[in-house]
């Protein structure tokens, strides 16, 4: 008997929520025009775009003028990090990032370093967390007035570690540095508000919370100096020029409102399913490693495990054949053979076969689906180990 497939890779992309689809469809005929056009159709599209900006800014806790639409989270991260460095290119700006950042931040920081910025990469502890004292040490002695930006993600996309962003933001500001946080994985799963964590910049994207692919946002506090990465128009304060996406903005905002409104209930349900799955896998797979198990806080909907002595390709294939869709880590690194920079930074770099799986739940993931995934994973792990042992 064929059984319905189970999708547990919401940390890569969460399928379009009904609320986002409804908002998109309701906006067709009104918002599917160029909001920069001066005629009535353009004005209607502009009104839809700005209504979405107002609503999403209110959800995040910032004035509407602080929200800049972008093409996604990676683009928002690049605009924040590389845009800051290029805006201060003549002053040799200081960039401080953690070793477990998304590659959108790390690659942008490395590019800025090649262009003359000073880069400091902060280590993390075994749970994947930045130690606030390490940031304090990195910022001690910054010359007064020297441009400095700290970028630490709110929650890790591979292992789920939630960073102490409030403390890191406070330390940054105390030393005269600005603070950016990539909240792509945290938004809609944790309470993300710039009222509580007064970051200077914050990155968001729609497709991690059931919105459409291809639209994101960067919160940019007034007075921030950024150099745009692309040129050709005055849209989005000149920081992200080009024809804007009112349909995407409407759907993004609807998904955000739904996800944030459900956080309290969803977090309880997700964390219960995560803990049950973790316990089942520990019982069924000898020597299982749970990544970030000792973190002070983890994302409620994400579980990352390692299976020593197992062939990774065989394990993923076995789950796919069983109708279980999971990932081996970040989707952005799925084509890389270099291994996970996040696990390496945490001190997990096994020399022998080591298969990594990341389970991530969505708004409609059920307990029955998670239980079935656990059973399938235990069977597939045994098969993957048999391939290695011969």
Residues involved in catalysis: 332
Residues 6+ away with beta carbon under 8 Å from 368: none
Q: How far apart are CA 323 and CA 330, in angstroms?
A: 20
Q: Are 11 and 332 in contact (CB under 8 A)?
A: no
* 337 phi/psi in degrees, rounded to 5: -105, 5
The bridge status of strand 216-220 relative to strand 67-70 is antiparallel
CA distance 32 to 364: 29
Report the alpha-carbon distance of residue 205 to residue 216 in Å, rounded. 4
The helix (run of H) or strand (run of E) holding residue 14 is none
CA distance to 20, 69, 70, 89, 158, per residue, from 213 (Å): 11, 13, 11, 32, 20
Q: Report the candidate in 107, 296, 84, 70 with the shortest Cα–Cα distance to residue 180.
A: 84
Strand partners, 368: none
């Amino acid at each position: 008997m064929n059984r319905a497939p189970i999708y547990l890779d919401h940390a890569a992309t969460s399928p379009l929520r009904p609320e986002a689809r409804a908002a998109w469809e309701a906006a067709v005929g009104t918002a599917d025009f160029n909001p920069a056009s001066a005629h009535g159709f353009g004005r209607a599209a502009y009104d839809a775009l700005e209504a979405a900006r107002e609503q999403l800014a209110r959800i995040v806790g910032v004035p509407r003028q602080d929200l800049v639409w972008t093409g996604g989270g990676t683009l928002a991260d690049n605009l924040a990090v590389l845009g800051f460095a290029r805006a201060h290119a003549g002053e040799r700006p200081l960039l401080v990032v953690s070793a477990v950042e998304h590659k959108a931040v790390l690659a942008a920081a490395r590019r800025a370093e090649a262009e003359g910025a000073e880069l400091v990469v902060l280590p993390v502890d075994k749970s994947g967390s930045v130690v606030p004292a390490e940031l304090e040490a990195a910022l001690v002695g910054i010359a007064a007035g020297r441009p400095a930006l700290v970028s630490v993600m709110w929650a890790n996309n591979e292992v789920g570690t939630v960073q102490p962003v409030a403390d890191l933001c406070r330390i940054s500001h105390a030393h005269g540095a600005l603070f950016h946080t990539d909240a792509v994985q945290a938004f809609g799963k944790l309470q993300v508000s710039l009222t509580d964590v007064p970051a200077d910049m914050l990155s968001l994207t729609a497709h991690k919370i059931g919105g459409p692919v291809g639209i994101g946002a960067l919160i940019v506090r007034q007075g921030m100096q950024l150099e745009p990465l692309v040129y050709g128009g005055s849209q989005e304060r000149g920081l992200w020029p080009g024809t804007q996406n009112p349909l995407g903005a409407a759907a993004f905002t609807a998904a955000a409102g739904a996800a944030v409104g459900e956080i309290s209930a969803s977090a309880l349900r997700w964390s219960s399913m995560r803990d049950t799955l973790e316990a089942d896998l520990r019982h069924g797979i000898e020597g299982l490693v749970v990544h970030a198990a000792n973190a002070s806080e983890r994302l409620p909907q994400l579980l990352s495990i390692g299976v020593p002595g197992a062939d990774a390709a065989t394990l993923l294939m076995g789950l796919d054949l069983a109708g279980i869709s999971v990932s081996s880590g970040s989707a952005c690194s799925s084509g890389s053979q270099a291994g996970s920079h996040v696990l390496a930074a945490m001190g997990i770099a096994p020399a022998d076969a080591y298969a990594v799986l990341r389970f991530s739940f969505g708004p409609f993931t059920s307990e029955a689906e998670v239980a079935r995934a656990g059973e399938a994973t235990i069977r597939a792990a045994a098969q993957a180990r048999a391939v290695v042992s011969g």
